[in-house]
């Protein structure tokens, strides 16, 4: 495809096929994505439709090797363009000096001077122009057949414009050979215009292709993170194997300075692992036995033995690459106008060029030479490429940059929606909080136990329970290195507490209701009352029905939560918290995070209704959740941001996936979307403005009021640079910092 008109025509050809529900063609990624009914059509008719439209297609190999092959092909094409470009520019420059040198005082030898030897002057110009035309023959090979198929594209404009200049020049040269006023005809040659146009447009295409190649660097960098080989540990020793030969359950050795080849768990060794290319977090993360590691991360200094859990296309890294590639192939709704304009653009420009040339010739009283210059200038200044590249290049670079920051955007539509958000809704547990209750304090009671002794007894009982609060008590005791004695006669009272016996002593551990039911506390006696007011759950320990200690347990607020909410407020966004927890617990967490609007005791199925209620108020809502029980609310929101370290549920649930559970990525994701949309609007403005201003100037509007006309060579150069400007502007997103 050479321009947006090509993409628009292929898109229409595909949509016309029976059974095709949706078709999207992306100029920047050179890809098409379809949803179709396999009972009515298939890959064969799709390829045939594309071939009948004048193009060819192949199935997209979205593996790492497939992407690397396409990148290598693009580099080879770029090298071929470069090899053709050098001689084309050389001959075009010689021709320009020959034809226009007299304007800067250059004196030609008499045998080449147009006044003394006009025929030699004309034939030399032809001789210099032919190599340029041959090197730029692709414009004619692609453009003229497209014109014949009544599907003109950018190459058609170049072919017709430069072809008209060449044809007129050959006609004048023929008159010179026949002796029909050779001196006058020598001043009426346009070989240099055609040659310089072809050379400059080829230069623009080369620079544009080189810039577009860089838009895929982020995906390429992600793919290069995965090593090609791994050190597999077998019974007989270690063996270097290809990564694609590994299977779940294999043990691999990761030495210092090597990248982890699989997703898995550390079974031996300790080290620090650099996860920055996957999570955006620059600080290395300590890893020890039992910790999870991810393929593509860099082992810093210690050796790790890792048991593979996910390999190849199942790893988190492979999932991230697929998600980014999917996003880069999508369009944002803002591109619809450019797509519609691009389809009709080339025929409209050709009609405008013919109308302008004929108007100057028939109405304006200008000569054929002047009218031809107008026609050629209008033909070559028009640039649907810039319009077609304005949106997809920004999306490609923006989503690639997001992936480097640990922000995975699933589509261009999600990017556009995130830029317009008014309010951000947070789930509490696992989102604003770490999602794991912890013992935050131990209250001593009159005639109670020493805190460590109390915690050890509680953990000894809770070790036999599977309740999340029980796990928190056991973790706290083990963190302090306490001994956990063996208890017997364990019994649980669901929703209330547990019983056990130690050395003949009856131990009770549970909530206030459990204590009341066993007559441990008097109605007006509750040492843990103040904990509830602070959003901390009270867990009571009693020995032989006498209160021995009170433990305060809470799910800690994420350390970055308050800063993230403050950042959202500074961006003009409001924040709301939804939780199924009690009002007191919800208010305590909300105060710590700096959130004023809270809805407590909201069950998962009601969260979606709360989101819908905000949308009914005319607000555009983003929902931030952990991607599991928040899935309905994530789907109901205008934009769902799924947090978590896994890729499974999060990818399905959210429009944006935050690779690591870090709330600072929420304002970063919205800032990125705003930056991308601002970049797209800049690109579209300049693309449309260039054509809106450039085409009338090329048509000679300024000349009507005594101003200058636009030389076709300048018109062609400006057209070539417009696409480069759009791609270069998009590449600025690579340096985005949240």
Residues known to be catalytic: 427
Query: What CA–CA distance (Å, rounded) separates 59 from 680?
Result: 29
For residue 383, give both structure tokens: 């640039």
* Cα Rg of the chain (Å, integer): 35
How many Cα atoms occupy the beta-carbon half-sphere of 476 within 13 Å? 28
Label residue 191 exposed, middle or buried (CB < 10 Å: 0-12, 13-18, 19+): buried
Per DSSP, 490 falls in state: E
* Cα-based angle 125, 127, 131 (whole degrees, multiple of 5): 115
Note the Cα 597 to chain centre separation in Å.
Answer: 32
Chain position carrying tokens 């040269």: 173
Tell me how far CA of residue 356 lies from CA of 169, 352, 376, 693, 718, in angstroms.
Answer: 20, 6, 10, 15, 19
Per DSSP, 638 falls in state: S
Note the Cα 565 to chain centre separation in Å.
Answer: 24
Residue 639 near residue 421, CB atoms below 8 Å? yes
Residue 157 near residue 380, CB atoms below 8 Å? yes
Residue 577 near residue 432, CB atoms below 8 Å? yes
Query: What CA–CA distance (Å, rounded) separates 466 from 456?
Result: 17
Question: 310 has which bridge partners?
Answer: 263
In the chain, % helix, strand, coil (3-state, to 5) comes to 55, 20, 30
How many Cα atoms occupy the beta-carbon half-sphere of 692 within 13 Å? 8
Number of H helices, E strands in the chain: 27, 24
> Is residue 90 classed as helix, strand or coil in its secondary structure?
helix
DSSP string, 273-333: EE-HHHH---S-EEE-TT-EE-TT-EE-SS-EEEEEEE-GGGSHHHHHHHHHHHHHT---G
Query: What CA–CA distance (Å, rounded) separates 694 from 107?
Result: 34
Residue 465 near residue 475, CB atoms below 8 Å? no
Query: What CA–CA distance (Å, rounded) separates 127 from 559?
Result: 73
How many Cα atoms occupy the beta-carbon half-sphere of 477 within 13 Å? 24
* Cα-based angle 503, 508, 510 (whole degrees, multiple of 5): 150
Pairing of strands 292-293, 407-409: unpaired
Chain position carrying tokens 């793919």: 223
b (16+ CB within 10 A) / e for 251-279: bbbbeeebbbbbbbebeebebbbbbbbbb
In Å, the largest CA–CA distance within the chain is 128
Secondary structure E strands in 569-616 = 574-578, 597-599
Residue 470 near residue 462, CB atoms below 8 Å? yes
Query: What CA–CA distance (Å, rounded) separates 514 from 492?
Result: 11
């Amino acid at each position: 495809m050479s321009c947006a008109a090509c993409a628009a025509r292929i898109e229409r050809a595909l949509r016309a096929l029976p059974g095709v529900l949706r078709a999207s063609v992306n100029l920047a990624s050179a890809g098409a994505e379809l949803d179709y009914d396999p009972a009515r059509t298939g890959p064969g008719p799709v390829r045939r439709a594309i071939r009948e439209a004048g193009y060819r297609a192949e199935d997209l190999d979205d593996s790492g090797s497939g992407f690397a092959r396409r990148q290598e092909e693009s580099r080879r094409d770029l090298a071929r363009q470069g090899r053709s470009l050098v001689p084309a520019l050389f001959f075009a420059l010689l021709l320009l000096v020959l034809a226009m040198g007299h304007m800067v005082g250059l004196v030609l030898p008499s045998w080449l001077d147009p006044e003394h030897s006009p025929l030699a002057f004309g034939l030399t110009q032809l001789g210099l122009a032919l190599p340029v035309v041959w090197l730029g023959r692709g414009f004619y090979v692609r453009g003229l057949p497209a014109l014949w198929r009544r599907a003109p594209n950018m190459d058609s404009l170049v072919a017709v414009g430069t072809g008209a200049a060449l044809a007129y020049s050959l006609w004048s040269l023929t008159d010179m050979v026949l002796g029909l006023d050779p001196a006058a005809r020598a001043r009426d040659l346009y070989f240099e215009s055609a040659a310089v146009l072809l050379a400059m447009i080829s230069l623009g295409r080369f620079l544009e292709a080189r810039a577009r190649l860089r838009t895929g660097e982020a995906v390429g960098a992600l793919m290069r993170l995965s090593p090609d080989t791994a050190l597999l540990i077998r019974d007989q020793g270690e063996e270097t194997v290809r990564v694609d030969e590994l299977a779940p359950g294999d043990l691999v050795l990761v030495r210092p300075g090597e990248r982890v080849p699989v997703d898995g768990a550390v079974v031996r060794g300790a080290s620090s692992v650099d996860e920055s290319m996957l999570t955006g977090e620059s600080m290395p993360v300590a890893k020890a036995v039992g910790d999870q590691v991810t393929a593509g991360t860099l082992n810093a200094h210690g050796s790790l033995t890792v048991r593979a859990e996910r390999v190849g296309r199942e790893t988190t890294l492979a999932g991230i690459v697929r998600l980014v590639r999917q996003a880069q192939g999508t369009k944002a709704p803002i591109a619809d106008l450019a797509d519609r304009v691009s389809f009709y653009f080339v025929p409209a420009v050709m009609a405008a060029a013919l109308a302008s040339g004929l108007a100057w010739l028939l109405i304006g009283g200008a000569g054929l030479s002047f009218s031809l210059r107008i026609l050629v200038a209008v033909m070559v200044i028009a640039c649907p490429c810039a319009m077609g590249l304005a949106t997809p290049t920004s999306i490609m670079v923006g989503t690639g940059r997001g992936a480097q920051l640990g922000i995975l955007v699933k589509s261009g539509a999600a990017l556009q929606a995130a830029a317009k958000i008014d309010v951000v809704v947070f789930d509490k547990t696992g989102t604003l909080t770490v999602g794991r209750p912890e013992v935050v304090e131990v209250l001593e009671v009159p005639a109670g136990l020493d805190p460590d002794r109390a915690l050890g007894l509680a953990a000894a009982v809770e070790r036999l329970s599977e309740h999340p609060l029980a796990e928190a008590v056991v973790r706290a005791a083990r963190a302090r290195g306490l001994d956990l004695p063996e208890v017997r006669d364990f019994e649980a009272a669901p929703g209330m507490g547990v019983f056990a016996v130690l050395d003949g002593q009856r131990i009770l551990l549970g909530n206030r209701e459990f204590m009341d039911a066993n007559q441990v506390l008097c109605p007006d006696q509750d040492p843990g009352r103040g904990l509830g007011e602070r959003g901390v759950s009270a867990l009571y320990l009693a020995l032989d029905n006498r209160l021995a200690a009170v433990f305060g347990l809470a799910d800690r607020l994420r350390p970055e939560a308050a800063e993230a909410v403050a950042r959202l407020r500074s961006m003009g966004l409001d924040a709301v918290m939804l939780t199924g927890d009690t009002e007191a617990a919800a208010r305590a967490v909300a105060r710590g995070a700096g959130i004023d609007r809270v809805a407590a005791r909201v069950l998962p199925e009601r969260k979606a209704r709360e989101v819908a209620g905000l949308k009914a108020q005319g607000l555009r809502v983003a929902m931030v959740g952990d991607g599991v029980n928040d899935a309905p609310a994530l789907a109901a929101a205008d934009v769902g941001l799924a947090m978590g370290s896994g890729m499974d549920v999060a990818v399905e649930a959210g429009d944006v996936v935050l690779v690591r559970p870090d709330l600072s990525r929420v304002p970063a994701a919205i800032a990125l979307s705003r930056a991308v949309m601002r970049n797209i609007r800049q690109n579209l403005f300049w693309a449309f403005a260039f054509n809106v201003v450039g085409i009338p100037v090329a048509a000679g509007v300024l000349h009507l009021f005594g101003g200058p006309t636009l030389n076709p060579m300048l018109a062609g150069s400006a057209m070539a640079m417009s696409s480069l400007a759009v791609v270069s502007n998009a590449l600025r997103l690579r340096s985005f910092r949240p």
